[in-house]
């Protein structure tokens, strides 16, 4: 059953005239009559009792009254759909799902704040996920945007660097290295490292550099979150390599100290990912615009 036929029937009833309905719908009267006849044939019921038509109004059958009720419901739903689509186009409604790991989520905070100021009715959901799994989540359609700190090297994804971070070697203000400006990787052989127990390209780079310089890397403590690592370092229970964006406030407040390691220069580009060739929602495109505005 075509929705257009229901619209024709509802218009005929509203106008109480085939000719006026034809004028309103920009159709001929025979076309209107034919559409109504086909609707009655498809339903298998007469909708208008032509034998009892009065001079002032059309008389509907029981089936006609039932169909009219649903025709009006369909019309209301169509109007609601048009309004909802208009809101999406105007970025005044919708939903946005972004995937990010623990540290990348911190980078998103300022962008989300700006985004919410511009589009307060859009629901934003940031889902915590392992960076290694984000490309698959994007390609499967479970997420629209993803933020990672490595290049996935997948031609099916658009990968754009939106921020340059770095890994910082941090210690407690009470640590013996706290007053040092720099040191050598060889100086770290006796240190207790608080490590993140999530495998990442950056962790592998650090392990590789220690091996290359033949320096022991004592990862005696492994923790599931960067927050827990940061607190243990502040308590002088060990040292750590952490994303600078994660510890910037503590560095500014002198709760942690950063010391340069001469042999280690570990940049950490933050990348925004989304599927190549797939149309983004209005909400996702608006977020990209906010990101690009703040990074240019």
- Each residue of 17-75: pLDDT tens digit? 888 888 888 999 899 989 989 988 988 989 888 776 555 678 888 888 898 888 888 88
Spatial separation of the C-alpha atoms in residues 258 and 15, rounded to whole Å: 78
Name the class of domain 164-268: alpha beta
Most confident of 113-122, 144-153, 168-177: 168-177
**pLDDT at residue 253, rounded to an integer:** 96
- Alpha carbon distances (Å) from 85 to 51, 95, 288: 43, 13, 20
**pLDDT at residue 71, rounded to an integer:** 86
Is it true that 3-89 and 164-268 share their CATH fold?
no
Pairing of strands 157-171, 257-258: antiparallel
Spatial separation of the C-alpha atoms in residues 12 and 265, rounded to whole Å: 76
User: What confidence tier does 82 reach under pLDDT thresholds 50, 70, 90?
Assistant: confident
Tell me which of 2.60.40.420, 1.10.3720.10, 1.10.10.10, 1.10.730.10 is the CATH number of domain 3-89.
1.10.10.10
Spatial separation of the C-alpha atoms in residues 294 and 288, rounded to whole Å: 10
**pLDDT at residue 68, rounded to an integer:** 87
Please, is 80 exposed, middle or buried when counting C-beta atoms within 10 Å of its C-beta (0-12, 13-18, 19+)? exposed
- Find the largest Cα–Cα distance for the chain: 103
Spatial separation of the C-alpha atoms in residues 274 and 134, rounded to whole Å: 10
pLDDT tens digit string along 234-263? 999 999 999 998 999 999 999 999 999 999
pLDDT at 12 over 60: yes
Question: SS3 string of the chain?
Answer: CCHHHHHHHHHHHHHCCHHHHHHHHCCCHHHHHHHHHHHHHHHCCCCECHHHCCCCCCCECHHHHHHHHHHHHHHHHHHHHHHHHHHHHCCCCCEEEEEECHHHHHHHHHHHHHHHHHCCCCEEEEEECCHHHHHHHHHCCCCCEEEECCCCCCCCEEEEEEEEEEEEEEECCCCCCCCCCEECHHHHCCCEEEEECCCCHHHHHHHHHHHHCCCCCEEEEEECCHHHHHHHHHCCCCEEEEEHHHHHHHHHCCCCEECEECCCCCEEEEEEEEECCCCCCHHHHHHHHHHHHHHC
Mean pLDDT of the chain: 88
Pairing of strands 157-171, 240-243: antiparallel
CATH topology of domain 95-162+270-295: D-Maltodextrin-Binding Protein; domain 2 (3.40.190)
**pLDDT at residue 244, rounded to an integer:** 92
Per-domain boundaries in the chain: 3-89, 95-162+270-295, 164-268
**pLDDT at residue 94, rounded to an integer:** 75
pLDDT at 272 over 70: yes
- Alpha carbon distances (Å) from 57 to 12, 15, 66: 10, 9, 17
| Percent of the chain clearing pLDDT 90 (strictly above) | 40
Length of the chain: 296
pLDDT tens digit string along 91-141? 666 788 899 988 888 888 888 999 999 988 888 889 888 888 899 989 888
């Amino acid at each position: 059953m075509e929705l257009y036929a229901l619209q024709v029937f509802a218009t005929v009833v509203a106008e109480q005239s085939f000719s006026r309905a034809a004028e309103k719908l920009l159709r001929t009267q025979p076309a209107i009559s034919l559409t109504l006849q086909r609707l009655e044939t498809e339903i298998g019921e007469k909708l208008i009792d032509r034998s009892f038509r009065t001079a002032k109004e059309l008389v509907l059958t029981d089936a006609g009254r039932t169909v009219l009720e649903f025709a009006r419901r369909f019309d209301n739903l169509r109007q609601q759909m048009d309004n909802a689509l208009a809101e999406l186009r105007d970025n005044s409604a919708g939903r946005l799902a972004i995937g990010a790991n623990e540290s990348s989520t911190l980078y998103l905070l300022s962008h989300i704040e700006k985004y919410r100021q511009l589009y307060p009715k859009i629901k934003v959901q940031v889902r915590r996920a392992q960076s290694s799994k984000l490309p698959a989540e994007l390609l499967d359609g479970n997420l629209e945007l993803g933020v990672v700190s490595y290049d996935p090297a997948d031609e099916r994804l658009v990968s754009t660097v939106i921020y340059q971070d770095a890994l910082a070697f941090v210690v407690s203000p009470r640590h013996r290295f706290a007053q040092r400006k720099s040191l050598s990787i060889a100086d770290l052989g006796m240190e207790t490292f608080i490590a993140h127990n999530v495998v990442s390209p950056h962790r592998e780079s650090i392990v590789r550099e220690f091996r290359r310089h033949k320096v022991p890397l004592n990862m005696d403590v492994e923790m599931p979150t960067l927050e827990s690592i940061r607190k243990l370092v502040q308590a002088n229970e060990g040292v750590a390599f952490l994303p600078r964006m994660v510890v910037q406030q503590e560095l500014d407040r002198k709760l942690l100290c950063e010391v340069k390691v001469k042999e280690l220069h570990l940049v950490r580009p933050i990348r925004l990912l989304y599927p190549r060739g797939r149309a983004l929602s209005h909400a996702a495109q608006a977020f990209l615009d906010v990101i690009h505005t703040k990074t240019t």
